[in-house]
A = this chain, B = another copy of it.
Amino acid sequence: MKNKRHSIKDIAAALNVSVTTVSFVLNGKAKEKRISEEVTKKVLEYARSINYKPNQLAQSLRTGRSKIIVVMVEDISNYFFSKLARIIEDIAYDKGYKVLFCSNENKDERSRELINLFRERQVDGYIIVPSPGIQEDISELVTDDIPVILFDRYFPEIDTNYVIIDNSEAVHNASQHLVDNSYKKIGFITIASNQTQMEARQRGYRDAMKENNLEEFVLEVPFYEKNTGKVKALIAEYLSNNDLDSIFFATNYLTQIGLEVIRESFPDKINELGIITFDDNDLFKIYFPPITAVSQPLEEIGKELMNTVLKMLKSTPEKPYRNQKILPASLIKRNSSFPNKRP
């Protein structure tokens, strides 16, 4: 039952035409190359009948396109990225592309390794969440006319395509929402980072506080301490030193750690503290209390990203396809940000 693969040559031989003709027909160039209706049909039918599938490898070698797109994110096991991966996957397979996912852990070293790895393997395009210091590698891709699009964050200094969300606006709105619900001492826990997305978020918070004449309480957790108990200690200290009535977590995993701290050290506060988190998670909905979250439009981001690379793939270096998209995020209001809905 091992149906040996058919090649274009087999078809040509069986039908007594040349491989050229077969190739033309199969690539939809019959009209253009003015192949007779008759032959065209014959080839098409025969190809169907033996269930001919072109050898992608050979095709790639010849055309130089691998039909592979790389999606490099910070951590594929992160809720936000894995959900997005699911969406991108669907679009890609639909369009005949394969997608390689990989995680750079927000480290430049690893990002570089991965980019080099994939450059060697003639990947067609890159969708990247860039780690802080890889502008150079990114611009190299750009100058080499390799389709690359950034998302989640970008480098203002270099002219690339990107899809991001309006972080400052989103955080600004969400902060205002806390103010509207009469929270007065609003803390903002974020990562010490000068990446665009984190800076924008902090700006959104600070602006909102200023507009409302409220004091700013920002805790910047050093980035390299991710995963360590030190972050917990820092947050715990921050919480006891400031008598906050609400907290805004600027990122997914800080929320997790923060909630852990609250659970362990201030369990009674969980039902009075106002809480908002950046990036939603299925489980926040069912938390006690359900947690208000800034939610990124995953579906839209995924589509925008894929459509853009696809278009870039089709464009020429002379007239490149440009797309720098800023999408709005939405605020999903749950009990954790309404004092009157507590406990």
- CB of A76 within 8 A of chain B? yes
Cα–Cα distance between A303 and B260 once the two chains are bound (Å): 30
Contacts of A287 in B (CB 8 A): 283, 287-288
B93 touches A117 (CB 8 A): yes
A288, closest chain B residue (CB): B288
Contacts of A103 in B (CB 8 A): 86, 89
- CB of A219 within 8 A of chain B? no
- CB of A177 within 8 A of chain B? no
Find residues 267-296 in chain A having any chain B CB closer than 8 Å to their own CB. Answer: 270, 281-283, 285-288, 290
Which among A14-22, A24-32, A54-62 touches the partner chain?
Answer: A54-62
- CB of A327 within 8 A of chain B? no
Q: A305 to nearest B CB, angstroms?
A: 16
B53 touches A120 (CB 8 A): yes
A1 touches B143 (CB 8 A): yes
Contacts of A259 in B (CB 8 A): 286
Contacts of A140 in B (CB 8 A): 1
- CB of A77 within 8 A of chain B? yes
A85 touches B57 (CB 8 A): no
Cα–Cα distance between A117 and B96 once the two chains are bound (Å): 9
- CB of A100 within 8 A of chain B? yes
A61 touches B53 (CB 8 A): no
Report copies per complex. Answer: 2
- CB of A184 within 8 A of chain B? no
B256 touches A286 (CB 8 A): yes
B122 touches A56 (CB 8 A): yes
Among candidates B93, B121, B144, residue contacting A56 with C-beta atoms closer than 8 Å: B121
B66 touches A77 (CB 8 A): no
Q: A120 to nearest B CB, angstroms?
A: 4
- CB of A102 within 8 A of chain B? yes
Find residues 94-148 in chain A having any chain B CB closer than 8 Å to their own CB. Answer: 98-103, 114, 117, 120-122, 140, 143-144
Q: A215 to nearest B CB, angstroms?
A: 28
Contacts of A143 in B (CB 8 A): 1-2
Render A56-84 as a binary contact track against B, CB cut-off 8 A, 1 for contact: 11101100001000000001111100110
Q: A301 to nearest B CB, angstroms?
A: 14
- CB of A341 within 8 A of chain B? no
Among A53, A76, A78, A285, chain B packs the most CB atoms within 10 A around the CB of: A76
- CB of A263 within 8 A of chain B? yes
B89 touches A101 (CB 8 A): yes
Cα–Cα distance between A285 and B53 once the two chains are bound (Å): 49
Q: A172 to nearest B CB, angstroms?
A: 27
B263 touches A282 (CB 8 A): no
Contacts of A58 in B (CB 8 A): 61
Q: A191 to nearest B CB, angstroms?
A: 18
Cα–Cα distance between A79 and B256 once the two chains are bound (Å): 15
Q: A81 to nearest B CB, angstroms?
A: 8
B76 touches A122 (CB 8 A): no
5 inter-chain pairs at a CB distance below 8 angstroms, sorted by A residue, are A57-B61, A75-B86, A259-B286, A287-B287, A287-B288
Please give 13 more A-B residue pairs, beta carbons under 8 A apart, in addition to A53-B120, A270-B288, A288-B288: A1-B140, A55-B61, A55-B122, A57-B66, A57-B122, A76-B86, A77-B83, A77-B85, A77-B86, A89-B101, A98-B100, A98-B121, A256-B282
